[in-house]
Homo-oligomer: A and B are copies of this chain.
């Protein structure tokens, strides 16, 4: 497509980024080459390093270049609370929004038998060992409110109960600022079922 082999390769490689099609890839490549070589070099280095060095935290499975991620290594977090989420991005979202002081366990996905993703692929054996050692008092299930996320939450809650540990699920209902009129019926029925005294 491009008359230059290197530019053609760059455009092709940029398409591995989510949401980047041929036109945006071309725009990105020319932008970097014409206006921001330093940015391009810094990106190349950051990418190479991250791809090479980022692994998974030995304790919570989130992405981390250290053996233990910052949260698991911190002495100020409450080790009796463990919040189970699907992805590292979920950890970010929770850390930015709420004053949660416990730890996380990151599944890096959800149960999906049709795709061959079973309990081992989600590190549930690791989670089980963690429930066995008696440190965890409450397991907060914050998987996504999708069919697979709900199934995963149910599976893990059974596991927690097997060890006599309290399992809680984050509330589903009408999002703040939303309008009842436009909320789907499934969410509305959850909001009704989960109503609380005021």
Contacts and interface: CB of A to CB of B under 8 A. Distances in A.
Interface in A1-23: 1-7, 9-10, 12-14, 16-19
Interface stretch (A43-51, A130-138, A145-153, A159-167): A43-51
A17 B31 contact: yes
Contact of A3 (B32, B52, B91, B108): B91
B63 A26 contact: no
B33 A51 contact: yes
Contact of A51 (B5, B37, B48, B70): B37
Copies in the complex: 2
A89 B29 CA distance: 10
Contacts of A190: none
B6 A65 contact: yes
A117 to B, nearest CB: 13
A53 B6 contact: yes
A71 interface: yes
Interface residues of A, number: 60
Contacts of A9: 46, 49-50
A28 B32 contact: no
A180 interface: no
Interface of A: 1-7, 9-10, 12-14, 16-19, 24, 26-34, 36-37, 39-54, 62-66, 69-71, 87-89, 91-92, 95-96, 108
27 contacts: A2-B92, A3-B62, A3-B64, A3-B91, A3-B95, A4-B69, A6-B49, A6-B65, A7-B50, A7-B88, A9-B46, A9-B50, A10-B46, A13-B39, A16-B32, A17-B31, A19-B24, A19-B28, A26-B92, A27-B89, A29-B50, A30-B63, A30-B88, A43-B47, A44-B44, A44-B48, A45-B48
